[in-house]
């Protein structure tokens, strides 16, 4: 089964993303800050990291910086944001992520559609 780590401090919002992704056969683990995210990454393999940028304790930017520093490679990171940046894929790549999703512009199904593009094919 494909696995996604969802780092999102707003549990209400996180719940919707988890429910939708799970309805498409993906296993989702939720963490609510950057520290927990790094911890989870160290202990388990994930096919994709959905990373909120604004979180308490340690934010998404710091997580990406730490992953780069520790040379930990996650297959794909997609950044979740409600900020006015990043605006382009280039800015994402500079941060260390593949793509970004503006939360207020997206339904949970839209998030699934984007995530599906980057997940390995089922059975692989």
Residues forming contacts to other proteins in the complex (CB under 8 A) are 10, 12-13, 16-17, 19, 82-84, 87-88, 90, 102-105, 107-109
- CB of residue 113 vs other proteins: minimum separation in angstroms? 10
- CB of residue 22 vs other proteins: minimum separation in angstroms? 13
Contact 79, 97 (CB under 8 A): yes
- How many whole angstroms separate alpha carbon 86 and alpha carbon 70? 23
Looking at the Cβ atoms of 48 and 80, the one nearer to other proteins is: 80
Please give the structure tokens belonging to residue 31.
Answer: 């963490």
- CB of residue 104 vs other proteins: minimum separation in angstroms? 4
- Residue given tokens 């604004």 in the structure block: 54
* Residue 70 Ramachandran class (φ > 0 left, ψ -120 to 50 alpha, else beta): alpha
Looking at the Cβ atoms of 2 and 103, the one nearer to other proteins is: 103
Looking at the Cβ atoms of 107 and 122, the one nearer to other proteins is: 107
In a 3-state reduction of DSSP, which class is residue 71?
Answer: coil
């Amino acid at each position: 089964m494909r696995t996604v780590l969802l780092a999102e401090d707003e549990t209400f919002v996180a719940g919707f993303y988890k429910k939708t992704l799970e309805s498409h056969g993906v296993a989702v683990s939720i963490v609510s800050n950057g520290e927990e995210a790094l911890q989870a990454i160290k202990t388990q393999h994930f096919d994709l990291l959905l990373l909120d940028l604004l979180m308490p304790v340690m934010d998404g930017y710091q997580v990406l910086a730490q992953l780069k520093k520790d040379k930990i490679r996650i297959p794909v990171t997609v950044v979740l944001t409600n900020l006015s940046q990043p605006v382009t894929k280039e800015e994402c790549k500079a941060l260390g992520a593949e793509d970004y999703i503006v939360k207020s512009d997206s339904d949970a199904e839209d998030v699934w559609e984007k995530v599906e593009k980057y997940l390995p094919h089922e059975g692989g």
